[in-house]
Structure 1
């Protein structure tokens, strides 16, 4: 791993890199070149904050290279009103066209979603994408199989998720598990206390990014419940979730059959001001 490097020809000696470092391992005073000794470098989490905020792109964090750091393009930033419209126009989509999302578009969405924050910048999430309706149906069938045994395996949860009703609907040809979605994106993380939170954030990033490209999403609540239940090992096996991992979030995805035209009223924010 390379050490913290500074281009003295570019550095303005402003100390910004030290001020934005989340683990405070850069030594810098205004008017002096920043430094980092090798002992402190061992605590670098590789977040790139020093590089992101340096006005002249003069520094590189341990393990990172300045040539790989792309300059942001402010001219591509949407207005505040446009971002707000993106957020308030998002709806959970449960009716999809029989049309697949090209892999290239999926790859672009996931490449952008990787910029979602992760605890300690671990970036330890991975994605499982079911690319065909046939694969999605197979997963849904395994979830329904789990729901069939849930009354015996976990009566309380069975009642809470209305397992018998879900099974009955499935047997009648109504897919309430994956909503006939042509694709499914699942977020997998190591089993540690930040895994669930990191996965939820990443799935939310993906949902908003997809919405901006005209792709609808819906959180797979029944899927997520199955992912974590002890009696649903066949579900995890199908996805290829390892023993030290957990699938924490799932987005059903596809092109919407219908498009929302209005913004229904929401509850007012419940805020405590202190």
Structure 2
């Protein structure tokens, strides 16, 4: 049965701007005689109808205004500050030996979880490994998997050979903490990107907390492939699959330059 009673409207405050209708991802609302009304109950509870209203005329009992923080434009960075912040983010592959306090990891992920998710599914679980012995097993399992890969790119084959020759950890870089994103194994492939969005948020926020981070590509690829060896080490909750992985730790150094990148490549469709 369709429920149309989750929208609350103050018709006197409503100016019929239609912003709530335009911004609804699933076209739930339409303009009625008194203002916006529910056309069909396909609400994904994103809260945009409430957030975008300029007069606070509309409320949604599923994502009520009372639970939404008001945006203060004065706290937003300038164009220059935002650009500089993004340009200075760098991967870190050298970490101090001390562990990252778990409360700091939770602070990092409590921000990362706010990344956008397809259909507002918010279907990501974080799996954290901060046991040194387990992390070493992850490295060995990832390299064992990598050695079985055929036709590796030269730089990747060189990394495998380097690990075999030296035993050095060029997978997790001796980081004290690994963070994986998990989803239900039935999740459609398109929505598996949600975890990577959250890890990107985590990488951007990590320096603010005094942390460095780096993508754990070898371990991630082995886990996503379903390799039994690494999955045994990771000990995931039942029914969950890996969709992304990074390592974090306290950096041993800081970057002092912003490396150049290839020029912007753009095409415009007719």
TM-score by length of 2: 0.85
Offset from partner CA, 1:56-101 (integer Å, 9 cap, x none):
3333336222221121222221111111111111111000122333
Q: State the number of aligned residues.
A: 264
**What pairs with 1:1-274 in structure 2 (closer than 5 Å)?**
3-8=6-11, 10-28=13-31, 32-36=34-38, 40-41=40-41, 43-61=42-60, 63-147=62-146, 150=148, 154-156=149-151, 161-162=156-157, 166=160, 169=163, 172-190=166-184, 191-230=187-226, 232-241=227-236, 244-274=239-269
Secondary structure of 2:63's partner? coil
Q: Alpha carbon RMSD of aligned pairs, Å?
A: 2.7
Q: Tell me: CA distance 1:86–1:241, structure 2 relative to 1, closer, same or farther (3 Å).
A: same
| CA-CA distance at 1:222 after TM superposition | 0.5
TM-score by length of 1: 0.84
Runs of 4 or more consecutive aligned structure 1 residues displaced over 4 Å after TM superposition: 156-161
Equivalent-residue separation in structure 2 for 1:268 and 1:160 (angstroms)? 23
Equivalent-residue separation in structure 1 for 2:211 and 2:24 (angstroms)? 36
Q: Is the 8 A contact 2:50 2:64 kept in 1?
A: no
5+ residue gaps, structure 2, are none
5+ residue gaps, structure 1, are none
Q: Is the 8 A contact 1:17 1:54 kept in 2?
A: yes
